[in-house]
Every structure is written in C-alpha cells, then in structure tokens.
Amino acid sequence: MVYRIPSPKVLEDSIRRVIREHQSIPSQRRFTELVLEDLKKKNPEYRVGEVRLRRMALLRNLARVTIQYRETRDMSRKGRCPVCSSPTEELHNMTLEDRTVELGFKCTKCPYWTGPRKRVPVRYIFTMQGDIVPPSKKKGRYAQWKFA
C-alpha cells in the first residue's frame, strides 16, 4: 500500500480551506474526512491521521477547538496533555489561612484543563477562528454597521 505524508504547509492550506468552507465541524472524524477529501484532490496518495490533524489545528491556531469531556474516578496527575501532548502546569489557589490548595492541572498551549478528578476528552468541535464573514462579502468601510 503506497501512501504519502503531506508537508505541513500543504496540510495547513487544506485545513484552512475546509474550515473556511464548513465553518463548524462537529467531530474529529468528520474533520479528518473533509481534510482527506481536500488533500486527495491534490494527490490521491496523501494520508493524514486524526491526532496529527488535531494538533496542527490547535498549535498553529488554524481553528478554534471546543472540547467536551467526561469525568473519571481516577485522580488527575501532572504530565502530558491528552489533547496536544504539551506539558501541563498545576493550578493553585490561596485559602484564607494563607495555605496553597491544588485545584487541578491546565495545558500550557490548548484549552484542556482538569480538576481533582481526571477529565478525558470525548468530542472535539472545530470552528472557524476569527471572522465568520469571508473578506469577499464585506463591502465598503462601514459594512458591519447598519445605519437608520
């Protein structure tokens, strides 16, 4: 089975096109399918995995990612983020008696966070970053304002 891995630039362009066209994609699997369709127009041998696609969209700010979670019974621990593999940092708070209380952990690069109990990502929703109106639709200097 012959396949090719697209370069980061080609993949980034494809992600931008798909996000601009669909504006909101309700799951990671559907996002991967749409990007693969776009990549296959360029080269039918291109392949890309869901994890690489998610990390690329997150770390390069190509899309806004909303994460839905489920909470487990396990206690959370410091380590790698399950969404983007970046390190996590501890969240602390001060009590009225000047003691430090550990609240949980937060990723340094993406919106993932967890409390005392471990949170596991269940669904990723990808939406367009920034303007929803394409630049070609804007007309004039004050296009966003409505005058009476």
User: Using CA atoms, how far apart are residues 75 and 116, in angstroms rounded to an integer?
Assistant: 6
Predicted TM-score (pTM) of the model is: 0.77
Considering only CA atoms, which of 3, 105, 111 is closest in space to residue 54? 111
What are the pLDDT digits (tens) for 83-141? 999 999 999 999 899 899 888 999 999 989 999 899 999 999 999 877 544 545 555 55
Give the list of residues 6+ apart from residue 102 with CB closer than 8 angstroms, or none: 90, 91, 92, 116
